[in-house]
Amino acid sequence: MPLTYVADEVAIEEPVSAAHARARKIKRQFSDGPLVRVAGARNQAEAELIQGLLLEEGVPSMLQRARGFDVPDMLAAGPRDVLVPSSGVVTAREVLLQADMLGDTGRAVEHPARLLLGLLATAALVALILWIGTDVLA
């Protein structure tokens, strides 16, 4: 007579829910460290595709809306950042390179000070041109 009940073993092997099935695919060695951005997606569907590719290799990931795109009317629209733990960055980049999905789409501005400096320089140039133009006409 067996010491364990066969039906219980089968029940343990089968995932209880979709979240349980997803958690069973994640490899522990890729789940340590702070979150790092590895890819950007143009919309929710593309981000979920990238997330699925990473999950097949055992790399856990999280989606985050890119800065400045929190429009409640368009919840599925707008760029997303795909974040993975730092221990899984190398594997995630390899997977995305193989799938040819590692690009700069939906990338958030990394240096806002540089963007602000460019805008101020452009505004100063326009003001100088207007000042010279009004000085010549007067």
pLDDT tens for each residue of 95-133: 888 888 765 444 555 577 888 888 999 999 999 999 888
Closest CA to 31 of 1, 55, 7, 6: 55
Question: Is the pTM of the predicted complex or chain greater than 0.85?
Answer: no
- Count the neighbouring beta carbons within 10 Å of the beta carbon of residue 30: 22
Q: Order of strands, edge to edge, in the sheet holding 80-85?
A: 35-41, 80-85, 62-65
Structure confidence at residue 116 (pLDDT): 87
Phi, psi of 63 (to 5 degrees): -100, 145
Tokens for 102, please give them.
Answer: 């590692």
pLDDT at 3: 46
Q: Which residues of the chain have a pLDDT value below 50?
A: 1-5, 104-106
Q: How far apart are CA 35 and CA 71, in angstroms?
A: 24
Output the pLDDT for position 125: 94
pLDDT at 73: 59
